[in-house]
Amino acid sequence: KEEFIEVMTDEFSKHSIPYTTTNIKTLDEGAVKELKRLSKPGRRNIIIPKSSSAATMTELAAILSNAHYENPDFMSNCTLFGYPEWQKHAPMAKDQLYLIDTYFYTNLYTPFSFKESMEFQDEFIRWYNRPLNEIIPRYGMMGYDIGYYFLYAINEYGNEFPDRINDVEFSP
């Protein structure tokens, strides 16, 4: 993750976006004090850990959610930046990650609290008499979306499908 952070800080510098780095070795209340000291009031403060491990995620989630209850004004300006690997571990700390405004990048995220996601899962069970596999990413959902996209496009445009691929309107 160090290369990622190096590229990101280079981009911050290139675009004159202020940033501060710190090397917090222990995730404890002292870490929260250090983050408060470095934060800029009135600005969004984004916390980007150097590690994408499950241990880092759960420790940060615990410490920052406690900070949220103790210092809601400070935490209202903080966002935790997470990593795609966290999808596998997010259920362990789902409520805490939500509470502390966590974002992680991925092109395969499924928001299971959305009505559409729940409806899809219910329909899957109805059709196949079993739940979706508990893996991340949810290939069952992705496969459905991809299959639906192509079947819809071929039905709509027939042999012209390859030439009309950009005309396909699709909402997964």
Give residue-wise pLDDT tens across range 16-56: 888 887 777 666 667 778 888 888 778 888 888 888 888 88
What is the reported pLDDT for 68? 85
What is the reported pLDDT for 26? 67
Cα(47)–Cα(8) distance, integer angstroms:
13
Which residue blocks in 71-112 are alpha helix, DSSP H? 72-75, 86-89, 94-99
3-state secondary structure of 6: helix
Cα(98)–Cα(96) distance, integer angstroms:
5
Weakly modelled stretches of the chain, pLDDT under 70? 25-29, 172
Q: What tokens were used for 109?
A: 């995220």
Task: Report whether 83 contacts 103 (CB < 8 A).
Answer: no
Q: Is the whole-model pTM more than 0.85? A: no
What is the reported pLDDT for 62? 86
| Beta-ladder partners of 102 | 80
What is the reported pLDDT for 25? 66
Nearest to 74 by CA among 99, 103, 45: 45
CA distances, 82 to each of 43, 107, 111, 129, 146 (Å): 19, 14, 16, 35, 27
Sheet strands side by side (includes 78-82):
45-47, 78-82, 102-104
What is the reported pLDDT for 2? 81
Task: Report whether 34 contacts 24 (CB < 8 A).
Answer: yes
- Within 10 angstroms of residue 125's Cβ, the number of other Cβ atoms is 12
Cα(99)–Cα(6) distance, integer angstroms:
28
CA-CA-CA-CA dihedral for 87, 88, 94, 96, to nearest 10: -80
∠ at Cα 142 (137, 148), nearest 5°? 175
Average pLDDT, the chain: 84
